């Protein structure tokens, strides 16, 4: 039966090539955009390099102070994380790093943009960077404020060219020379807590901002539990610690900060009354809905036109005993076949689009791919397209009067 429906569907598609082209274009173009968006979200949310211990980690990205008519919010200070979060008993390690700061350096009169990040030694014990050569700096080197650095693979190539090994050589950033002790695989810029071109001990920071005892200061924290079973305990202990903190200024009445999972921390707004997760999901849902509704309505109109053209065929089939249920089922299957064909074209276009985006290096170190998650989303979208755009026209078809349909022949 399905084989016959497939043959009929192909014959119908060939009958009106222009309508078929418009339908396939709308489906494939929409699916291409959705698959590219899905690949981006999947990379941001699903890529766990280098923080492969997310299942037992909580992230601190913001600290806020609120008053009656005022609010101050931003990344916490090194002191806040080291002193207050460091007093917790559940975490076995606390990795601390600054945001990536930008500067320029010059090699053979060529200007190179450099992003640098400060970290503590435990940062390297929590995160699992892929070292291409060398190793990370340790606690002793950090405490001694040694001018050492770990650099990314791209920075190695850009600064040192084709040198096979650079450990022991020096790289200049912000007018200071640092000895390279390790080279790691690149991290995409979207992983803002872990991305950088070069990584430095926090103790070599010129401004010594790590000594600031205020709550805010441009650092991020990763709290590592002994096991995933301790996450709730660690989260609750952090929340209780925050409740005991005094405000820094009389204009504020409350201090708030959260140790959350990676995704919740990534979209944290700093405002307890506004859920970053809700905003992100709502924005993506609205975008996807708007993107899908137009081609869906277009496909519905085209399908209704196709039904009107096939009214005589429908009348004959009804006259020979075909039930409305059988006709509806046939038309929905035909429509799903159409959307799957459009989906196949969309997947091919998505692969091409992702290669173009990756080749253009629009986002530093970000390599988007079509994986099983992305393909599953694509298949799901195709089925939704097929069902939504096929149900109403199929219902209209089932209501056609046999006599009226035959007279239209």
Give residue 398's pLDDT: 62
Give residue 133's pLDDT: 96
Under DSSP, is residue 156 helix (H, G, I), strand (E, B) or coil? helix
Give residue 54's pLDDT: 93
Under DSSP, is residue 103 helix (H, G, I), strand (E, B) or coil? strand
Q: Cβ distance 171 to 177 under 8 Å? A: yes
Give residue 379's pLDDT: 73
Give residue 308's pLDDT: 64
Per-10-residue mean pLDDT of the chain, 409 residues long, equals: 62 66 76 83 83 94 89 92 95 95 86 93 96 96 96 94 93 91 93 93 89 92 96 96 91 92 83 74 80 72 66 63 68 74 84 86 77 75 71 66 52
Phi-psi label, residue 191: left if phi above 0, alpha if psi -120 to 50, beta otherwise: beta
H-state helical runs in 131-213: 139-143, 153-160
Give residue 190's pLDDT: 86
Whole-prediction pTM: 0.79
Strand partners, 66: 71, 254
Give residue 286's pLDDT: 83
Q: Cβ distance 348 to 36 under 8 Å? A: no
For the four alpha carbons of 71, 193, 288 and 359, in that order, the dihedral sign comes to positive
Distance CA 49, CA 43 (A): 10
Taking CA atoms, 245 is separated from 39, 67, 116, 242, 256, in Å, by 41, 15, 31, 5, 9
Give residue 204's pLDDT: 95
Taking CA atoms, 107 is separated from 113, 154, 162, 295, in Å, by 11, 15, 14, 52
Under DSSP, is residue 207 helix (H, G, I), strand (E, B) or coil? coil
Give residue 333's pLDDT: 74
* CB burial string 236-262: b at 16+ within 10 A, e below: ebbeeebeebeeeeeebeebbbbbbeb
Give residue 68's pLDDT: 82
Q: Cβ distance 325 to 56 under 8 Å? A: no
Distance CA 82, CA 88 (A): 10
Give residue 399's pLDDT: 63
Give residue 249's pLDDT: 85
Q: Cβ distance 308 to 16 under 8 Å? A: no
User: What does the chain come to in residues?
Assistant: 409
For the four alpha carbons of 204, 209, 215 and 221, in that order, the dihedral sign comes to negative
Give residue 322's pLDDT: 61
**237 closest CA partner among 86, 121, 75:** 86
């Amino acid at each position: 039966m399905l084989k016959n429906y497939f043959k009929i569907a192909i014959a119908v598609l060939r009958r009106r090539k222009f309508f078929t082209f418009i339908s396939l274009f709308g489906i494939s173009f929409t699916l291409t955009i959705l698959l590219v968006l899905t690949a981006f979200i999947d990379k941001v949310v699903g890529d766990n390099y280098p923080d492969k211990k997310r299942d037992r980690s909580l992230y601190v990205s913001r600290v806020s102070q609120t008053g009656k008519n005022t609010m101050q919010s931003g990344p916490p200070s090194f002191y806040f994380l080291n002193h207050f979060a460091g007093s917790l008993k559940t975490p076995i390690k606390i990795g601390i790093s600054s945001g990536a700061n930008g500067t320029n350096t010059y090699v053979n009169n060529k200007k190179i943009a450099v992003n640098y990040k400060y970290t503590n030694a435990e940062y390297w014990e929590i995160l699992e960077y892929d070292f291409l050569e060398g190793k990370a700096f340790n606690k002793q080197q950090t405490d001694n404020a040694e001018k050492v650095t770990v650099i990314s693979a791209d920075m190695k190539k850009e600064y040192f060219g084709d040198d096979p090994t650079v450990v022991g050589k020096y790289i200049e950033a912000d007018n200071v020379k640092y000895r390279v002790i390790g080279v790691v695989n690149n991290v995409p810029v979207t992983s803002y807590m872990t991305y950088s071109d070069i990584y430095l001990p926090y103790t070599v920071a010129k401004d010594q901002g790590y000594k600031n005892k205020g709550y805010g200061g441009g650092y991020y924290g990763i709290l590592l539990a002994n096991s995933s079973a301790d996450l709730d305990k660690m989260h609750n202990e952090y929340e209780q610690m925050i409740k005991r903190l005094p405000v820094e200024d009389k204009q504020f009445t409350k201090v708030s900060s959260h140790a959350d999972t990676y995704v919740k921390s990534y979209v944290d707004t700093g405002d307890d009354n506004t859920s970053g997760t809700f905003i992100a999901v709502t924005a993506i849902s609205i975008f996807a809905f708007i993107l899908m509704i137009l081609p869906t309505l277009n496909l519905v109109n085209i399908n209704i036109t196709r039904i009107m053209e096939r009214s005589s065929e429908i009348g004959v089939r009804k006259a020979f005993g075909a039930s409305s249920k059988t006709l509806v089922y046939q038309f929905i299957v035909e429509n799903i076949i159409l959307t799957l064909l459009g989906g196949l074209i969309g997947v091919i276009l998505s692969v091409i689009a992702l290669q173009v985006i990756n080749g253009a290096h629009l986002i530093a170190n970000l390599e988007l791919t079509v994986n099983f998650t992305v393909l599953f989303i694509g298949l799901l979208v195709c089925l939704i397209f097929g069902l939504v755009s096929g149900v109403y026209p199929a219902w209209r078809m089932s209501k056609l009067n046999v006599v009226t349909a035959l007279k239209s022949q």
